[in-house]
């Protein structure tokens, strides 16, 4: 048996986990949970993940792990090579802060359940919902541009090798690509994410719509 | 010099950091950043935190740390006693997943910049914005009730002592209190958060409006 992941092709959080598994060289199978059509809310998936989110990771013995960033930390603790976090506490803290700049600040604002509720609560049509998403993706890219300009990637966010920060930053770029946004106003962010997507671990985790 | 924190009285993320500092027994001073009036976007605060979020933590030598959850992990790595995360990797992963259930899934949907943008983008009035917040706080409490019912607190989320999961869960309860919501439909969640707020480390971190 290999690791089994519940994910969805265009889920940014699923992308993060796929890249981490790829970078760690861990084989996995992916089972699709169609979050655009509410499959995350079914009784069957509730048994796997009571938080009704993707991804979930199922280990060989059936143990289930939830929340992309928690799973990345777990992989780092249990399969430490190659490392996805630096060794020094301040560097680890900065890597996590960069990750959370999208995981906690912008990505939650554009997931399907939020887009649906914008329509339900405010009568937002598709164009208005897409404008909402683009606003927050832009805010997130702006924040990354400010952060990365203050400490330029060399060549990745924390140094020589890609890690958790780069994974989350590349996921944010994937959001921008899925919503056909221009990355030119964010040159440091753009260059870093292009560097990530030049790696097979990132490129193969990205869905066809985001290229 | 002691630790210096930039925060805001009713910020849930600032609450998380206050509780962690209290539980670790670390003295700190707090400087207010009025996120209801845009002080997080000033040039002065940009120098501290280019992501324009609260809290930020400034160490004795001036080093700045960003993002509440990243700061909690950093405190855990640098001031490990008392621990706020369990020792076993699967337990640590579950603690982080519980934390992220609000940090990544619901809290980002109700911060001031999002409430302002709901008004700007959809003409939402105060009642509509409050209904939006209450919807997501309710969704978050529902998720916690499902998660905590499957593995009941004993007596805290991960066992004998409060930690990162309890801090984030209590912060979610604080959101519910700030928006005058009923916790009765979520009895396991309610009991756990009452247990947290019975501790001075939690109670003293909570603003007057959330009681």
| Residue pLDDT, tens place only, B29-50 | 999 999 999 999 999 999 999 9
More confident residue, A208 or B93: B93
Same domain assignment for residues A98 and A189: yes
Is residue A210 a part of any domain in this protein? no
- Residue A9: give its domain's CATH number: 3.40.30.10
Chain B CA closest to residue A134? B121
Tell whether the model's pLDDT for residue B126 goes beyond 80.
yes
In this predicted structure, what is the pLDDT of residue B175?
96
B50/A124 CB distance under 8 A: no
Q: Is the dihedral of CA B211, B102, A106, A76 positive or negative?
A: positive
pLDDT tens digits, residue range B165-176?
999 999 999 999
A135/B124 CB distance under 8 A: no
Average pLDDT over residues A26-31: 96
Nearest of B9, B144, B23, B140 to residue B72 by alpha carbon: B23
Domain end, chosen from A78, A102, A130, is at: A78
Chain A CA closest to residue B77? A89
Tell whether the model's pLDDT for residue B177 goes beyond 80.
yes
- The whole domain housing B107 covers 89-203
Chain A CA closest to residue B48? A147
β-pairing verdict for B3-7 and A64-66: unpaired
Tell whether the model's pLDDT for residue B210 goes beyond 80.
no
B51/A103 CB distance under 8 A: no
The b/e string for A20-54 (b: 16+ C-beta within 10 A; e otherwise) is bbbbbeeebebeebebeeebbeeeebeebbbbbbb
In this predicted structure, what is the pLDDT of residue A122?
96
Is residue B210 a part of any domain in this protein? no
The b/e string for B16-32 (b: 16+ C-beta within 10 A; e otherwise) is bbbbbbbbbeeebebee
φ and ψ at residue B11, rounded to 5 degrees:
-75, 125
Cα–Cα dist B171/B106, whole Å: 11
Same domain assignment for residues B133 and B70: no
In this predicted structure, what is the pLDDT of residue A209?
65
Please report the DSSP string for B157-197 in residue order.
TTBSS--HHHHHHHHHHHHHHHTT---TT-HHHHHHHHHHH
Is residue A12 a part of any domain in this protein? yes
Same domain assignment for residues A119 and A19: no
Tell whether the model's pLDDT for residue A194 goes beyond 90.
yes
Tell whether the model's pLDDT for residue B209 goes beyond 90.
no
Average model confidence (pLDDT) across chain B: 96
Is residue A115 a part of any domain in this protein? yes
In this predicted structure, what is the pLDDT of residue A211?
59
Same domain assignment for residues B93 and B192: yes
Peptide bond connecting A155 to the previous residue in cis, omega within 30 degrees of 0: yes
Sheet holding B3-7, edge to edge: B28-32, B3-7, B56-58, B64-66
Q: Which of B52, B67, B74 sits opposite A100 (nearest CB)?
A: B67
Q: How far is CA A3 from CA A49, A77, A78, A181, B37, in A?
A: 16, 16, 13, 34, 47
A90/B135 CB distance under 8 A: no
Residues forming a β-bridge with B3: B28
- Residue B102: give its domain's CATH number: 1.20.1050.10
CA distance B210 to chain A (A): 23
Same domain assignment for residues A94 and A73: no
A100/B103 CB distance under 8 A: yes
Same domain assignment for residues B63 and B115: no
Cα–Cα dist B17/A206, whole Å: 35
pLDDT tens digits, residue range A66-82?
999 999 999 999 999 99
A121/B132 CB distance under 8 A: yes
Angle between helices A126-150 and A164-178 (to 10 degrees): 150
Average model confidence (pLDDT) across chain A: 96
B105/A108 CB distance under 8 A: yes
Is residue B34 a part of any domain in this protein? yes
Domain end, chosen from B39, B59, B78, is at: B78
β-pairing verdict for B56-58 and B3-7: antiparallel
Chain B CA closest to residue A48? B147
Q: Which of A73, A107, A128 sits opposite B93 (nearest CB)?
A: A73
Is residue B129 a part of any domain in this protein? yes
Cα angle A3-B72-B62, degrees, rounded to a multiple of 5? 130
Residue B148 pLDDT class (50, 70, 90 cuts)? very high
Same domain assignment for residues A100 and A174: yes
A96/B69 CB distance under 8 A: yes
A132/B121 CB distance under 8 A: yes
In this predicted structure, what is the pLDDT of residue A168?
98
Please report the DSSP string for A68-106 in residue order.
HHHHHHHHHHHS-SS-SS-SSHHHHHHHHHHHHHHHTTT
Instruction: Tell me how many residue pairs between chain A and chain B have CB atoms under 8 A apart.
Output: 133
Residue B182 token pair: 């009923």
The b/e string for B124-161 (b: 16+ C-beta within 10 A; e otherwise) is beeeebeebbbbbbbbbbbbbbbbbeeeebeebbbeee
Same domain assignment for residues B32 and B54: yes
Residue B82 token pair: 């008392």
Q: Which of A53, A63, A124 sits opposite B90 (nearest CB)?
A: A63
Tell whether the model's pLDDT for residue B211 goes beyond 80.
no
In this predicted structure, what is the pLDDT of residue B208?
73
Same domain assignment for residues B101 and B125: yes
Cα–Cα dist B20/B14, whole Å: 10
Cα–Cα dist A117/A96, whole Å: 29
3-state secondary structure (DSSP) of residue B12: helix
Same domain assignment for residues B70 and B95: no
Domain end, chosen from B55, B78, B101, is at: B78
A51/B114 CB distance under 8 A: no
pLDDT tens digits, residue range A137-193?
999 999 999 999 999 999 999 999 999 999 999 999 999 999 999 999 999 999 999
Same domain assignment for residues A115 and A188: yes
Residue of A49, A92, A93 for testing the chain B interface, max B β-carbons within 10 Å: A93
- A126: chain B residues, CB-CB within 8 Å: none
Is residue A126 a part of any domain in this protein? yes
Is residue B144 a part of any domain in this protein? yes
Q: What's the number of domains chain B is made of?
A: 2
B70/A97 CB distance under 8 A: yes
CA distance B66 to chain A (A): 6
pLDDT tens digits, residue range A37-63?
999 999 999 999 999 999 999 999 999
Chain B CA closest to residue A136? B114
Place of tokens 């409006």: B209
Residue A136 token pair: 């927050």
Same domain assignment for residues B98 and B61: no
Tell whether the model's pLDDT for residue B1 goes beyond 90.
no
Residue B207 pLDDT class (50, 70, 90 cuts)? confident
């Amino acid at each position: 048996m290999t690791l089994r992941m519940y994910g969805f092709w265009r889920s940014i959080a699923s992308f993060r986990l796929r890249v981490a598994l790829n970078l760690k060289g861990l084989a996995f199978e992916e089972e699709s949970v169609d979050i655009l059509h509410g499959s995350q809310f079914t009784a069957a998936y509730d048994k796997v993940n009571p938080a009704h989110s993707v991804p979930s990771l199922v280990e060989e013995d059936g143990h289930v792990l939830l929340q992309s960033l928690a799973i990345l930390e777990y992989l780092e603790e249990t399969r430490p090579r190659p490392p996805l976090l630096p060794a020094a506490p301040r560097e680890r803290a900065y890597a996590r802060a960069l990750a959370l700049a999208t995981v906690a600040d912008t990505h939650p604002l554009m997931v399907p359940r939020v887009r649906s509720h914008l329509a339900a609560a405010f009568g937002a049509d598709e164009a208005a919902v897409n404008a909402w998403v683009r606003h927050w993706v832009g805010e997130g890219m702006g924040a990354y541009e400010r952060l990365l300009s203050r400490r330029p990637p060399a060549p990745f966010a924390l140094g020589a090798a890609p890690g958790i920060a780069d994974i989350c930053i590349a996921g944010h770029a994937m959001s921008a690509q899925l919503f056909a946004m221009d990355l030119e106003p964010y040159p440091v962010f753009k260059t870093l994410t292009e560097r990530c997507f030049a790696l097979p671990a990132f490129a193969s985790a990205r869905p066809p719509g985001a290229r």
